A = this chain, B = another copy of it.
Amino acid sequence: MNAAALAALRERLERFHALSKAAEVLHWDMETRMPRPGAASRALQCGAVARAAHEILCAPETRGLVDELGPALSDPGDESEPAALWRWAERETARRARLPAALVEETSRATARAQDVWVEARRRSDFAMFLPELSCVLELKREAARALDDGGDPYDGWLAEFEPGMRAADADRLFAELEPGLAEITARAIARPRRERHPALTGFFAIERQRGLGEAAARLIGFDFSRGLLDESAHPFTSAPALGDVRITTRYDERDPFSNIFTVLHEAGHGLYEQGIDPALADGPLCAGGTMSLHESQSRLWENAIGRGREFWTAFLPRLREAFPSAAGASLDDVLAAVNSARPSLIRVEADELTYGQHVLLRYGLERRLLSGDLRPADLPEAWNAGMRERLGLTPPDDARGVLQDVHWSAGLFGYFPTYLIGNMISIQLYAAALKDRPEIPERLSRGDASPLRGWLRDKVHRHGRRLAAEQVVARACGGPISSRPYLEYLRAKHGA
């Protein structure tokens, strides 16, 4: 192998990675600190950085180095870091070569603009205000899909951005296996009489006291605050500017003490993944979560499989009571009933784990129709509301609680939603495998020690970053491919009665 060529390729990829992470800082700041009148200029900044990063990958010199190293590194069975880096570079340079730099820059600018308009449109529940921006972003993303089309399903190009290695047909198959069972359990949950939350868990919960609780939850599962931080933002997210700088955000609801806790567990789940990557991969493109569904498997595992379980609350209930003595009237079972109640609701990020899937399937169906041109952006609110009625028996009272609720489309993240549901599937597969390998997990967790599970995840998932493909990670950890079956069984056992 030509060591000089590898060093030269590495230098370029690290520069690309540094620019991508710089963009992450710009986004972090935009969501947490930037005065709103800075938004238009920030859009230009994001665009310029995205373009500079793109140009590195698209430079003929970069592709030349990839081609030169092919003979030495293209063996798909080679699991060394250089071979994994080469695979990443080969795939990304091929993908990027099909996207014109002007399209990349214009998309970055348009989405930064659209996100700013979306915030205001959602606040006013004014879809008409958002429509021109959405149409613009959608057209750019459809142009990208056409540029990436390799003759298969046109949705493949969108999905590949977040889930390399997976095709739309794979997602269709997983969802087709899931949907009938999910619909049946959901219908039964809709029909069931609603169980009211224990009164001690309702009322007013001061944000000042919720802050410490969120931090305690993150600490309990092992988020490392010496290499990260927890902030507040309107839309919670995780950002990882560096291996030593992993950031999560939450938001607070004064009427609900759990919303913040589950948000923190979710984002800290993402954060643990980023913090657990092998330091040998630092500052290069392999230093990231494998795919979005694998990332989401980590957030959902801690949020749901752990965070809604008896063991976590055995350890954490004293903390809740300490922060809110008024909640002491509720027993452990009352808390578990409150955090596991399943009933249709309007907002995806607040949905319970049963109905969550319906929210994703709705969006996935709409995205496929938007891409094909079968659905026009102007008709989205109507199609959205029809889908909500059909899937969950609810009609959103306004677009803020309907089609305007998610940031994704304004951010150009078409193709992202399916990874949420696939991530849920993987989370249950992984947790089952972890319990088999480390039977002490529940007992230790109930004593406030999450290290057995965290250690298992670090070993099986986190440390690999993008060195292994997602399907390899799942196959080795769980002994089989990604499947919807364990997830469906889990939902049936918990919510099907």
Identify which of B21, B40, B228 contacts A45 (C-beta below 8 A): B21
Copies of this chain, whole number: 2
Most chain B Cβ neighbours within 10 Å, of A19, A36, A46 = A19
CB-CB < 8 A to A37: which residues of B?
A: 226-227, 242-245
**Which residues between 35 and 68 of chain A lie within 8 Å of chain B, taking CB atoms?**
35-42, 44-49, 51-52
Interface hit among A24-32, A212-220, A320-328, A400-408: A24-32
Residue ID in chain B nearest A38 by CB atoms: B245
CB-CB < 8 A to A35: which residues of B?
A: 226-229, 244-245
A5 contacts partner chain B, Cβ-Cβ < 8 Å: no
Main secondary structure of the interface of A (DSSP, over half): helix
CB-based contact A18/B48 at 8 Å:
yes
A33 contacts partner chain B, Cβ-Cβ < 8 Å: yes
Q: Hey, what's the 0/1 contact readout for A268-286 against B, CB within 8 Å counting as 1? A: 0000000000000011000
Chain B proximity of A358: nearest CB distance (Å)? 38
A226 to B38, CA, bound (A): 10
A14 contacts partner chain B, Cβ-Cβ < 8 Å: yes
A337 contacts partner chain B, Cβ-Cβ < 8 Å: no
CB-CB < 8 A to A48: which residues of B?
A: 15, 18-19, 22, 52
CB-based contact A38/B283 at 8 Å:
no
A378 contacts partner chain B, Cβ-Cβ < 8 Å: no
CB-CB < 8 A to A226: which residues of B?
A: 35, 37
CB-based contact A45/B22 at 8 Å:
yes
CB-based contact B38/A242 at 8 Å:
yes
Residue ID in chain B nearest A245 by CB atoms: B38
Residue ID in chain B nearest A19 by CB atoms: B48
CB-CB < 8 A to A45: which residues of B?
A: 18-19, 21-22, 25, 241
Chain B proximity of A104: nearest CB distance (Å)? 13
Identify which of B22, B28, B38, B242 contacts A241 (C-beta below 8 A): B38
CB-CB < 8 A to A33: which residues of B?
A: 33, 229
CB-CB < 8 A to A14: which residues of B?
A: 44
Residue ID in chain B nearest A243 by CB atoms: B41
CB-CB < 8 A to A283: which residues of B?
A: 40-41, 44
Identify which of B22, B244, B282 contacts A49 (C-beta below 8 A): B22
CB-CB < 8 A to A94: which residues of B?
A: none
Q: Which 5 A-B pairs have the closest CB atoms?
A: A38-B245, A37-B244, A41-B242, A52-B52, A18-B48
B-contacting residues of A (Cβ < 8 Å)? 14-15, 18-19, 21-22, 25-26, 28-29, 33-42, 44-49, 51-52, 226-229, 241-245, 282-283
Known interface pairs A25-B26, A35-B244; 11 further A-B residue pairs with C-beta atoms within 8 A, sorted by A's residue number: A18-B44, A18-B47, A18-B48, A22-B45, A22-B48, A25-B29, A34-B241, A40-B244, A41-B242, A41-B282, A42-B241
Could you list 6 examples of A-B contacts with CB < 8 Å? Answer: A14-B44, A15-B48, A18-B45, A29-B29, A37-B227, A41-B282
